[in-house]
Amino acid sequence: MALTATEYPPALILLSPGGLALARQIRIALPGAEIHGLRGRLEPGVVDHVFVGVAEHLRGLFLSGRPIIGLCAAAVLIRSLAPLLGDKWSEPPVLALAEDGSVIIPLLGGHHGAHAIARMLGAALDVAPAITTAGDVRFGVAFDDPPEGWVLANPADAKPFAGALLAGAPVRLEGRAPWLAATRLPFAPDAELVMRVTERAVEGSPEVLVYHPKTLAVGVGVERNGDGAELIALIRETLAAQGLSPLAVAGLYSIDLKSDEPAVHAAAEALGVPVRFFDAETLEIERPRLANPSEVVFANVGCHGVSEGAALAAVGNCGLLVVPKAKSRGATCAIARAPEPFDAGALGRPRGRLTVVGLGPGGAGWRTADAAQALAEMDDLVGYRLYNELAEPVAPQVVRHDYGMGDEEIRAVKALELAASGRKVCLVTSGDPGIYAMATLVFELLDRAPRPEWLRVEIRVLPGISAFQALASRIGAPLAHDFALVSLSDLLTPWPLIVKRLEAVAAADMAVALYNPVSRSRRQQLEEAVSILLKHRAPATPAVIGRQLGRPDESVSVVPLSDLTPDLLDMLSIVIVGSSDTRMVEKPRGGQWVYTPRGFSGKESSAMRSVGEGQG
């Protein structure tokens, strides 16, 4: 069984710092794995996620289907998950590892990859996993966990089948499966127990296990914005007409012009297989083998056949076209067979994905789960060098593309180009990518300089905690009422327009967060902004300064608006200036909270009345 980050994002559970080095080693072997640490013993920034209740956290992961790898005592996992155990066919993998990596025990989910994960970890750590399943031990094979490229059609029959074998019954192998032939199974030519290897859709039973080799490639074509249900029905009907099992399909293939067609991706999802795309030049190489070459198709897309060509390109020169092009109203499909199971994902290109990720202000603790997952799955990391350094610990195997400050458009173009080539790319920024950051530049490039290959890329924007949110949370609630965001940088916005906006915000008496308040060469803009704000609010109005938020050198301070000068800030600072309603609450041990009321003081709540009455 193959392990991929998308299917199996494992959670590595640490209850102490002792297993941290091993967890980081495992994360390299299992791309996408996240390190979860017990709060108080491991902190945000050191691990990807922290949790409080051990049993509650483990149960939540288990119920969500996440593989669990506990670098802790097996008993902790067993006691925590025991109340949830029931159907072994639905439980995710659960493994226990010694903190020194000397023992690997798959506890649960052998039917869903636990044995495969154990073997992968064993290979990475040079340790023999402690697999105790009877079939594995006696015969050297897990009947319900075939290797990559094979699938058991009737897994529910594996247990009685294994029971008969363990009781001494012989077995007959029908068809070619080297991985079965090499086991210690008691083969006999006249045995009643059968392991049947076939691409055909046949029924299994407790006496007959049916294994399908993934040797079929389905090539498809579909009209623009075609119907996914129609394409899925065509594929299923074509397979059924030839007596072929959908479980023998290794992958779905088409021309790269269709890489953004929802119908094609819906069909791949329905079959549970990868989808890959070839360019027209690659498909045209298959012209001599096409059963139905078309000049019309060639005139439109540059090759003489899409569905037949894609299926043949996938199975290679030794493969054969077994089902010529079949048609429905708006779709086509064809089927080719390879002589051996093949890695469907290694052929052609996937649809490229560009994810614009907001890292938040700094540490991993302020990073969203979606952002962490995207970073774990990526092939390429594009960004300002400092931001890449913050993101890299999540996925150390990625290709980094570091750029300097001021290279924003170069970064965005690079990210789009990489994604257009079929890569999974993260374009990273601090804070939120849609607030004075990179997301808008990506869409601006698509608007003013569109390239067809860019427009076929899947693009996602994942939000992050912005600096104004981080600073507000550190000091209290200064933005609890209406507020504004204004950048004082005039590199992209004329200063007179910034002044106009500042005057409007000041006159509206809203709290305001000032981004990019100063730089090495730009000091007077902050002084002018303070002057504009002082026309409409008191000199003592709280001005909150945050620097290096979420990072080791973080600092937060409060000064009167009249004392806010460029000397107090640098390029890594942000400022929140309160409205005329903003208040300060002194802390008993020094310092203050800053908040902007929303009008609750005008309502004497029943709760406050009861407090007063109690004190009387």
Q: How confident is the model at residue 488 (pLDDT cuts 50, 70, 90)?
A: very high
What confidence tens digit (pLDDT) does each residue in 54-84 have? 988 898 888 888 899 999 988 899 889 888 8
Please, which contacts does 534-537 make with residues 24 or more away whose CB atoms are closer than 8 Å? 534/561, 534/562, 535/506, 536/506, 536/507, 536/509, 536/580, 537/506, 537/509, 537/561, 537/577, 537/578, 537/579, 537/580
- Give the distance, in angstroms, between the CA of residue 178 and the centroid of all CA atoms in the same chain: 35
More confident residue, 544 or 368: 544
Number of H helices, E strands in the chain: 21, 28
Assign domain 356-465 to its CATH architecture. Answer: 3-Layer(aba) Sandwich (3.40)
Structure tokens at 453: 């290959």
DSSP secondary structure, 603-614, as one string: S--HHHHHHHHH
Structure tokens at 601: 């003081």
Helices marked H in 302-384 = 307-315, 369-377
> How far from 368 is each of 230, 365, 465, 597, CA to CA, in Å?
37, 8, 8, 29
**So what's the pLDDT on residue 268?**
96
Run of H or E including 233: helix 228-241
What is the CA 297 to chain-centroid distance, rounded? 37
Q: Collapsing DSSP states into helix, strand and coil, what is residue 89?
A: coil
> 450 Cβ partners below 8 Å, 6+ apart?
none
d(CA 615, CA 152): 72
Backbone angles phi, psi at 546, to 5 degrees: -120, 140
CATH architecture under which domain 11-132 falls: 3-Layer(aba) Sandwich (3.40)
pLDDT of the residue at 1: 38
pLDDT band at 396 (very low <50, low <70, confident <90, very high): low
Lowest mean pLDDT among 17-31, 211-225, 460-474, 578-592: 17-31
Report the pLDDT value the prediction gives residue 5, as an integer from 0 to 100: 34
The whole-angstrom separation of Cα 98 and Cα 132 is 17
pLDDT in the model for residue 32: 75
Of residues 148, 95, 149, 147, the one with CA closest to residue 125 = 95
CA dihedral 557, 558, 561, 562 (to 10 degrees): -80
Give the C-alpha separation, 367 to 234, whole Å.
Answer: 43
pLDDT in tens, 423-468: 999 999 989 999 999 999 999 999 987 889 999 999 999 999 999 9
Reported as a single tens digit per residue, the pLDDT across 79-113 is: 898 888 866 666 889 999 988 888 888 888 766 77
Rounded-to-integer distance, Cα 253 and Cα 344, Å: 9
pLDDT band at 135 (very low <50, low <70, confident <90, very high): low
H or E segment to which residue 410 belongs:
helix 408-420
Contacts of 602 (CB under 8 A, 6+ apart): none
Tens-place pLDDT, residues 186-233: 999 999 999 999 999 999 999 999 999 999 999 999 999 999 999 999
Instruction: Note whether 541 and 582 are within 8 A (CB).
Output: yes
pLDDT score for 2: 38
User: Quick one: how far is CA 188 from the chain centroid?
Assistant: 48
Q: How far apart are CA 508 and CA 541, in angstroms?
A: 15
Nearest to 407 by CA among 383, 390, 372: 383
Token code pair at residue 211: 């294994």
Q: How far is CA 17 from CA 14, 71, 72, 366, 484, in A?
A: 7, 10, 11, 21, 43
Beta strands in 409-554 (DSSP E): 424-429, 458-462, 476-477, 483-487, 511-515, 542-547
pLDDT-based confidence at 116, cuts 50/70/90?
Answer: confident
* pLDDT-based confidence at residue 171 (cuts at 50, 70, 90): very high
Task: Tell me what pLDDT residue 280 has.
Answer: 96
More confident residue, 337 or 130: 337
- Go through 5-38 and write b for each residue having 16 or more CB atoms within 10 A of its CB, e for each that does not: beebbbbbbbbeeebbebbeebbeebbbbbbbbb
**Rg, Å, the chain Cα set:** 30
Among the residue ranges 35-49, 152-166, 480-494, 511-525, the one predicted with the least confidence is: 35-49
Residue 42 or residue 228, greater confidence: 228
Distance, CA of 449 to CA of 135 (rounded, Å): 60
The residues facing 420 across adjacent strands are: none
pTM over 0.95: no
pLDDT band at residue 616, thresholds of 50, 70 and 90? very low
- What does the pLDDT read at residue 605? 54
CATH class as words, domain 216-346: alpha beta
Per-residue pLDDT tens digits for 411-424: 999 999 999 999 99
How is 337-353 classified by DSSP, letter by letter?
E-SS---GGGSSBPPPE
Query: Taking Cα atoms as reference points, which of 360, 416, 413 lies closest to residue 391?
Result: 360
Predicted pLDDT at 584? 94
Which residues, including other chains, have CB under 8 Å from residue 45's CB and lie 6 or more apart?
363, 364, 365
pLDDT of residue 517: 93
| Share of residues in the chain with pLDDT > 90 (%) | 60
Residue 4: per-residue pLDDT: 38
Please give the span between the terminal C-alpha atoms of the chain, in angstroms, as a whole number.
71
241 close to 328: Cβ distance less than 8 angstroms? no
Instruction: Please compute the mean of the pLDDT values over residues 318-347 and round it to a whole number.
Output: 95
Q: Extract the tokens encoding 261.
A: 């067609």
What pLDDT is attached to residue 393?
62
Band (pLDDT 50/70/90 cuts) for residue 289 is: very high
Check residue 64 and give its pLDDT.
Answer: 81
Q: Can you give the three-state secondary structure of 475-489, one letter per residue?
A: HEECCCCCEEEEECC
Q: Return the sign of the alpha-carbon dihedral for residues 501, 504, 507, 510.
A: negative
Whether the Cβ atoms of residue 250 and residue 216 lie closer than 8 Å to each other: yes
Q: Name the more confident of 273 and 395.
A: 273
Instruction: Indicate the pLDDT class of residue 6, thresholds 50, 70 and 90.
Output: very low
How large a percentage of the chain has pLDDT more than 70? 91
Q: Determine phi and psi for 408, rounding to 5 degrees.
A: -60, -45
Residue type at 354 in one-letter notation: L
Q: Are strands 68-71 and 399-403 parallel, antiparallel or unpaired?
A: unpaired
Q: Report the C-alpha gap between 389 and 466 in whole angstroms.
A: 18
What CATH number does the domain located at 474-600 have? 3.30.950.10
- The pLDDT assigned to 133 comes to 63
Phi and psi at residue 174, in whole multiples of 5°?
A: -110, 115
**In whole angstroms, what is the distance from residue 541 CA to residue 194 CA?**
83
Spans of all domains in the chain = 11-132, 150-213, 216-346, 356-465, 474-600
